[in-house]
Chain A
Amino acid sequence: MSTNTYELSAAEKKFVGWHVFFAVAALSVGALFGPLQALEHSGLDLYPYLKPVFKSYYQGLTLHGVLNALVWTTFFITGFLTLAVSKGLERPMKYPKLNAVGFWTMVVGLVTAAIPLLLDEASVLYTFYPPMKANWAFYLGLTLVVVGSWIEGYGMYYTFAAWRKENPGVRSPLAALGSVITMVMWQIATLGVAVEILTMLLPWSLGLIEGTDPQLARTYFWFTGHPLVYFWLLPAYLSWYSFLPKQVGGKLFSDSLARFAFWLFLLLSVPLGFHHQYVDPGVPAGWKFLHAILTYSVFLPSMMTAFTVVATLEKAGRARGGKGLFGWLRTLPWNNPSVTAQLLGGILFFFGGIGGLANASYNVNLVLHNTAWVPGHFHLTVASAVTMSFMGITYWLVPYVTGKKLISDKAAHWANWLWFTGMVIFSNAMHVVGLLGAPRRTPLGLAPYIPEEWSGHLLRVGIGGTIMFFGIYTYIILLARTAWSKKAEAADVEIPLAQAEQDPQNTPEWLDKWVPWLVGTVVLLIVAYGPQLIDQISNISLNAPGGRVW
């Protein structure tokens, strides 16, 4: 097996660093609103004190969702995948200017969307369902962020194709293959929201058409909305497969299983959006059933990932002296904050997976769909497995791109454990209070109908959210001080790219072929969405005038 010694150039490091900068900057604003939502639920409403700047709970909730779930993730992911493609393929981007155009398009989009958000002209939550109507700049800004990420994806495709041309017959390096599959999945998935905005929301907000079709808009949105979860998760999995094994002193247990999982995620991530629309009257039950089955099919690559990653950890832990059925867990390098963050994220995801499967069952979903259970669940995915993995990655990535040692490992551990502890309290309380019927997207502190049995759980929501706030701000300050402090020690950090137990060249060839998987993906999409899209588009009713409800 060849040893990858490729190092990114100073310009490439700077480019990746800019992604992380914008990602963390967005997180630093979005995270401010987390405790405000949580404390509001527990009866301490601080929004009135912020009135001159932030007008309402819903403005805060929208900023929290958009900046954390869309901006923090998308900027971090495009930067991290750029690094993974270059390192994996041992070459720079084929057209770095193309990637730069993509990135700055995203920045322009972020600024364009941020202005109406901050002016309270787009408090439509991060799902921006019509007939709630935002300022046109919000829709345009989101479109530019998505288009920018597409352009960055094209840069990765050209780079991958150039590598393939230079290396016929060689198995694609997993880090690069996983990155490109993630971008392909993202580009297919975002067609939904692109069509929604360009054909409906943008012309509607500009006054070019009079109304929208909320049912069709929701179908377009969830075409993108669920695979968006996999756009968040796959880079975390990429880290667990391609970087974490080296960090724990081991090797990836199975290169073949890892590749197979990525291909299955490409195939199965998109055609299942109707499981978010079980309560939509405009989608026939048969199509909801089909999407429910497809949703459960994603359990297969998810469990394959769990097996491969945990087996990798077990083997490494045993090599470090771990004995017994679980003794190897103790011997993993918990003193490395990058490893700890990812392990803690994985532990939280254990419960996120369980909640997700319960959500996906039709009859349970009918009862839980509009309750606090759902944000409780997705905080265990995007705010746990994903965010904690990204935190763990930045503990080596920021020193790598800045050439400075992380200023305090202790602070990183504090950030990890505070976030983890807060999330355990917060998410458990949200699940329980949701099960008791508490609605989501609601300022519960103002609601006159709160029964006594919710009170203790809502208090835990406030406590958990506050602890998480201290955790994430410890993290943000740590990164800022590392990047800008003149006292930070110089560091010679290498990218912890792992090898696999097997020579990747022995991986079956069908796991390195694009055409069958792409054809399968398109065919499955046509089967799962085609007839319903034709039906909904041919019966389109642009009769919802829309308005401002905040």
Chain B
Amino acid sequence: MSENNQEFKPKGTMAILLIFVLTLILLWGSVFLILLSRGMTVGV
């Protein structure tokens, strides 16, 4: 990386990626919980 980049710390970028990961966990987890809350399909 250039000297210019060594001075630049992409804090906003890291924050956005962190928000992405947290949103991913939240939405994925909620989908999973919604489906679990409906219970299992029982064969007849």
Contact = CB atoms under 8 A, between A and B. Distances in A.
Contact of A354 (B5, B16, B27, B35): B27
Contact of B16 (A310, A353, A363, A364): A310
Nearest to B32: A364
Given A315-B8, A325-B12, A364 B31 contact: yes
A98 B11 CA distance: 48
Contact of A253 (B5, B15, B20): B5
Interface centre among A353, A357, A358 (most CB of B within 10 A): A358
B10 interface: yes
Given A303-B17, A307-B17, A501-B4, A357 B10 contact: no
A280 B27 CA distance: 27
Contacts of B1: 254, 501-502
Interface string A325-358: 1101100000000000000000000100111011
Contacts of A306: 17, 20
B16 A502 contact: no
Contacts of A364: 28, 31-32, 35
A314 B4 contact: no
Interface centre among B2, B4, B12 (most CB of A within 10 A): B12
Nearest to A324: B12
B8 to A, nearest CB: 6
Given A303-B17, A326-B15, A502-B5, A311 B28 contact: no
Contact of A307 (B13, B23, B34): B13
A357 B35 contact: no
A363 B2 CA distance: 45
A325 B11 contact: yes
Nearest to B23: A354
A367 interface: yes
B28 to A, nearest CB: 5
A326 B23 CA distance: 17
Contacts of A435: 31, 34
Contacts of B24: 353-354, 357
Contact of B27 (A254, A358, A367): A358
A501 B17 contact: no
A310 B31 contact: no
A328 B20 contact: no
Contacts of B2: 501-502
Contacts of A358: 27-28, 31
A310 B4 CA distance: 17
A367 B35 contact: yes
Contacts of A311: 10, 13
B12 A314 contact: yes
B35 A310 contact: no
B13 A314 contact: yes
A14 to B, nearest CB: 39
B12 A328 contact: yes
Contacts of B5: 253-254, 315, 501-502
A260 to B, nearest CB: 14
Interface in B1-44: 1-2, 4-5, 8, 10-13, 15-17, 20, 23-24, 27-28, 31-32, 34-35
A424 to B, nearest CB: 15
Nearest to A502: B2
A253 B7 CA distance: 12
Nearest to A437: B38
Nearest to B8: A315
Interface of A: 253-254, 303, 306-307, 310-311, 314-315, 318, 325-326, 328-329, 350, 353-355, 357-358, 361, 363-364, 367-368, 435, 501-502
23 contacts: A303-B17, A307-B10, A307-B13, A310-B10, A310-B12, A310-B16, A311-B10, A326-B12, A350-B20, A354-B20, A354-B23, A354-B28, A361-B28, A363-B32, A363-B35, A364-B35, A435-B31, A435-B34, A501-B1, A501-B4, A501-B5, A502-B2, A502-B5
Interface of B: 1-2, 4-5, 8, 10-13, 15-17, 20, 23-24, 27-28, 31-32, 34-35
Given A303-B17, A361-B28, 10 more contacts: A310-B10, A311-B10, A314-B10, A326-B12, A326-B16, A350-B20, A354-B20, A354-B27, A355-B27, A367-B35
